[in-house]
Amino acid sequence: MSSIQFALNHMSAPKLSIPDFFALAKSLGCEAVEIRNDLAGNAIIDGTPPETIKAEAARHGLRIISINALQRFNEWNDARAEEARQLIDYAKRSGAEALVLVPTNDGTGLDRQERAQNLRRSLSALRPMLEEAGVIGLVEPLGFESCALRSKTEAVEAIKDLSAERSFKLVHDTFHHHLAGEEKLYPDMTGLVHISGVEDPAIGVPDMRDSHRVLVGAADRIANVEQIRALRDLGFKGRCSFEPFAAEVHDATNPAKTIGDSIAFIRHSAG
């Protein structure tokens, strides 16, 4: 089996500028990065032109595999459509290959029929926009009980109902997969894996939040290694992208070492 391919989400080192973040990724042997639209003082939110991002990625020899993310994508309205157009245009012009699609997570739209209708409506609206730009939509179910799209199975059913497999793939997020308690894997439908661990022994699964998400190590409680191994055994050959949210990771004085140690651990344990 080939070696695991790693990528870096900008959330793994959010205090770094784009040039420094890209340099970090390259120094760790990663050939791909994810940029975000929710980091103050960094592209995209600071107005950095997409062409500048594209040139910087090329200078470091990196692929931009996604922009993360269009939030509340399954709550479709005029404002969401405009936001989607802007992000898809930014993706196209920056060379980003995909746009991550994050569902509502506030306890609304939880009825099964309403979930299904909202999801299909949004996917149908996004599809021509993505296809015209040559950008993939990466649907990322969230495991929180307050989320209107917890299940990868529901996402896959909707994508297949619309015969939209060429336009949409899944994000398998190891954290959210564990929270959702969903056992089924969809390696053929998975375009990207987000990885982060939880080590706090005092927190129950229903109470796990983004703030608990650290780099993956030996004390991980949410079976990152097992998930990665299972996906690869089933034929997944895509990238595993680090997406930790914990302050202790963001405040690390030597992110190259901490992330590098996690890469080494996962390669030894799952690769």
Average pLDDT, the chain: 97
| Continuous H helices in 95-189 | 112-133, 152-161, 174-180
CATH number at residue 21: 3.20.20.150
- % of the chain surpassing 90 pLDDT: 96
Tell me the C-alpha distance between 269 and 85, whole Å.
41
Model confidence band, residue 1 (pLDDT cutoffs 50, 70, 90): low
pLDDT digits (tens, 9 = 90+) for 143-152: 999 999 999 9
Mean pLDDT across 201-220: 98
Is residue 243 within 8 Å of 195, Cβ to Cβ? Answer: yes
Backbone torsions φ then ψ of 220, nearest 5 degrees? -60, 135
Q: Which domain holds residue 143?
A: 5-270
pLDDT digits (tens, 9 = 90+) for 136-172: 999 999 999 999 999 999 999 999 999 999 999 999 9
pLDDT digits (tens, 9 = 90+) for 225-251: 999 999 999 999 999 999 999 999 999
Any idea of the CA torsion for 188, 189, 194, 197, to the nearest 10 degrees?
-70
Mean pLDDT across 206-233: 98
Model confidence band, residue 220 (pLDDT cutoffs 50, 70, 90): very high
CB-side exposure of 224: number of CA atoms within 13 Å? 31
- State how many domains the chain has: 1
pLDDT digits (tens, 9 = 90+) for 46-97: 899 999 999 999 999 999 999 999 999 999 999 999 999 999 999 999 999 9
Mean pLDDT across 182-202: 97
Quick one: pLDDT at residue 45? 86
Tell me the C-alpha distance between 268 and 97, whole Å.
29
**pLDDT of 271 over the 80 cut:** no
**Residue with tokens 């990665």, as numbered in its chain:** 228
